[in-house]
Amino acid sequence: MAQTTPPVVALASRREESTSAASVPAFDEIYDEHFAFVWRSVRRLGVADGAVDDVVQEVFIVVHRRLAEFAGRSSLRTWLFGIALRVVRDHRRTLKRKSPHLAHEHEDPETVGDARERGPHESTERAEAARLVRLILDELDDEHREVFVMAELEQMTVPEIADALGENVNTVYSRLRAARQKFEQAAARLRARDGWRMR
Amino acid sequence: MSELGPETRALLDAARSGDEPTPEDHARVKRRVWAQIGVAVGAAAGASAGAAASNAGATGAKAVAASAARAWLTWKGLAVVAVAAGVGAGAYALARAWSAPPQSSGVVQIASPTAAGSTVPAATPPADSASATPADSTPVVDVGQLPVAAPPSASGAAAAPASSGSLQDELALIRAADAALRAGNPARALALTDEHARRFPRGALSEERAGMRILALCAMGNASSSGAAAFLASHAGSPLAPRIRTACGL
């Protein structure tokens, strides 16, 4: 993948912009290398299965449109996460406007089927753990969920997170601390309620 | 770190690899992204190309158009064309196909290489303007009848999705519907969208199908029941939106 001639799809339109062209990967490479990351992040940030396709697609459309702005200031992952974050926020806001109650229960029924077909691929135990984690994450405020996903699931560093959010490092530290507490409390409630145990 | 207990840690460890996409997810979304880039960027290029259309090589939109053409042609499996007439012209014609009403004369449609049989691979690397055929001498070809060839190997997007065959079939149907519409035969267009719906209920081009269907219904005088308003509400950014607004009087 890496040895192919680079800028195909995306870069023709941004040649003249001076930022070192060599440091910007081609759009198709970004897609192939970071699709899984974007996909995971979108799910964990609270997008229901039936809407994941749409949201991930939108993230990459934004990436394509804004690739010229990626000047290597941050890591590509950080930049991508920042975009995913904004697209997910928009998506959730739209859903809430449509139905003020639980956002994810009101997905477009037309797209739900696609997600269901995924089943057999997810090894059950991990998939179940992932489902529980998403359930717990859903109880967190947006800003807590975001830092928690980045730190605990994607294992990004606090400076990286600060970069993706456009916040300062201290803010992220304190938000992360609060997010962990909230997550732990929600996990404890879930355990108490469902008798769930991990090993 | 002290905020999280061992049980929660164990849960997180297990969950970390539990949200992975499948290869099907990867390929499916990729088709959709590439389709949208091809259509959307192409439409933008077409819109800005203005009336000096036949002079595609000289438009300022050329670079954008070139990238649109690459994306579109590679991923739609239509690598045939771009080359001969200059990529800009190809993208321009694609853009027109989606976003503008037809104009009969003096407009470059996609140039079809004369010898291109349906199985001839597109060996010529795209964007080689030195080999360009002068735009105004190229034949006008219905996009629905374009031959289909493998993507050029030098495209950097070597791994075409496994189901590109069906994507080509999808595209052929949508284009045929579009051609029927432009030829003033909305009933035929409607039948073709029905066929698409039957064969590809969850196809990558479902949105285009929905748009074509609405255009056909409006052309038949059924604007009120066409669902145009709902389509525009949920697909405001669709390249078909301007056409639908015009055709349905919205």
In this structure, the answer to whether residues A106 and A129 fall within a common structural domain is: no
* Coil, strand or helix at B74: helix
The domain in which residue A175 lies consists of: 123-199
Write the CATH number for A4. 1.10.1740.10
Which residues 151-170 in chain A show a CB within 8 A of chain B?
152-153, 155
User: Given A13, A127, A191, which is nearest B67 (Cβ)?
Assistant: A13
ipTM metric: 0.72
Show residues of chain B in contact with A122, CB under 8 Å: 18, 20
Are A111 and A187 in a shared domain? Answer: no
Q: Does residue A93 sit in the same domain as residue A164?
A: no
Query: Could you tell me if A4 and A95 lie in one domain?
Result: yes
Q: How many pairs of residues across A and B have Cβ atoms under 8 Å apart? A: 135
Q: How many CA atoms lie within 13 A of A90 on its CB side?
A: 12
Are A150 and A117 in a shared domain? no
> A117 and A129: one domain?
no
Amino acid B112: pLDDT? 37
Residue from A5, A198, A199 whose CB has the most chain B CBs within 10 Å, to mutate: A198
How high is the pLDDT of residue A144? 94
Among A91, A121, A151, give the residue marking a domain's end. Answer: A121
| Whether residue A101 sits in one domain with residue A86 | yes
| Rounded Cα distance, A154 and A40, in Å | 9
The most confident of the ranges A103-117, B34-48, B169-183 is B169-183
Total residue count of chain A as it appears in this document: 199
Tell me what the mean pLDDT of segment A120-140 comes to.
82
Contact A184 B20 (CB under 8 A): no
* Domains: count for chain A: 2
Distances from the Cα of A113 to the Cαs of A49, A109, A119, B210, in angstroms? 9, 8, 11, 18
8 A C-beta contact, residue B218 and residue B226: yes
- Chain B residue numbers with beta carbons less than 8 Å from the beta carbon of A28 are 156-157
Tens of pLDDT, residue by residue over B124-175, are 444 444 444 444 444 444 444 444 443 443 333 333 443 456 777 788 888 8
Cβ–Cβ gap A126/B17 under 8 Å: yes
Better pLDDT: B56 or B218: B218
Among partner residues B14, B67, B156, which is closest to A4 by beta-carbon distance? B156
In this structure, are A89 and A127 located in the same domain? no
Q: Say if residue A11 is in the same domain as residue A43.
A: yes
Cβ-proximal residues to B212 (8 Å cutoff; 6+ apart), any chain:
B174, B177, B178, B181, B189, B192, B193, B240
> Does B128 reach chain A within 8 Å, measured CB to CB?
no
| List of E strands, chain A | none
Nearest CA in chain B to A184: B4
Paired tokens of B225: 């029941």
What 8-state DSSP symbol labels residue A19?
Answer: S
- A135, A68: one domain: no
Looking at the structure, tell me whether residues A79 and A128 fall in a common domain: no
Q: Which of B92, B72, B99, B91 is nearest to B215 (CA)?
A: B99
- Same-domain check for residues A38 and A89: yes
Give the global pTM: 0.47
Q: What is the mean pLDDT of residues B84-109?
A: 41
| CA gap A98, A109 in Å, rounded | 14
Residue numbers of B between 176 and 215 with CB closer than 8 Å to A: 202
Distance from chain centroid for Cα B90: 12
Does the CB of A20 have a partner CB in chain B at under 8 Å? no
Mean pLDDT of B189-195: 87
